[in-house]
Chain A
Amino acid sequence: QVQLQESGPGLVKPSQTLSLTCAVSGDSISSGVYFWNWIRQPAGKGLEWLGRIYSSGSTYYHPSLKSRVTLSVDTSKNHLSLRLNSVTAADSAIYYCARQSPGTGIGDWYFDLWGRGTLVTVSS
């Protein structure tokens, strides 16, 4: 059974860098079948896609966050990481990692597996 588990500091100070890790168990990131994504959800609000990474390290980011987000993957540890710099209160949210399975075209992939999410609060 494949599982995703996010982890990281629950509290980050404004202007600092948010760093999270997603451990993948039951499957290998190196399999090369899936994209691995980060999605966030502010309290009481909707979902926002942050970006995705392939096992090769190829990344795609949301245009509005591209300047602040960095995704990476460590195939030896079978986990992926998110770094979001210069955070503000608006970055407070539950952060999810999610696996994206192939669709018919590059724009047709869908999120078939989600982690439970980790709450990050940006506050001094």
Chain B
Amino acid sequence: QSVLTQPPSVSGAPGQRVTISCTGSSSSIGADYDVHWYQQLPGKAPKLLIYGNNNRPSGVPDRFSASKSGTSASLAITGLQAEDEADYYCQSYDDSLSGYVLFGGGTKLTVL
């Protein structure tokens, strides 16, 4: 089955910029399906961070942005803050088999 590959961990100091990659395949991101991003704070349910490749829901700071190109996508966080320390997941869709929702394995962001 198809997968979305994310780095297990990234880190950065307060104020810095970090990026998290999400690599799919020709049957997922490469098939032009949207990529969405979720933030999961410790002990909490995931929260929608970015939808439709690069759209922020109301209340999400503009420090968070995302892009998509080819079979990959990336999430960028600028002006890193301690409260950004969390797990981040990308999500898309795979049209192989009968079609299904696909999550990346998640990336743990550590704010140094």
Contacts and interface: CB of A to CB of B under 8 A. Distances in A.
Name which of A103, A110, A111, A115 has the most chain B CB atoms within 10 A of its CB: A110
Contact of A116 (B45, B95, B101): B45
A73 B105 CA distance: 29
Interface residues of B, number: 28
Contact of A47 (B47, B89, B98): B89
Contacts of A63: 1, 97-98, 100
Contacts of B101: 37, 49, 52, 62
Given A46-B106, A62-B100, A108 B93 contact: yes
Given A63-B98, A112-B51, A47 B106 contact: yes
A104 B45 contact: no
B15 interface: no
Contacts of B105: 46
Interface of B: 1, 31, 33-34, 36, 38, 45-48, 51-52, 57, 89, 91-93, 95, 97-106
Given A63-B1, A107-B33, A111-B91, 5 more contacts: A47-B89, A47-B103, A106-B93, A107-B34, A113-B48
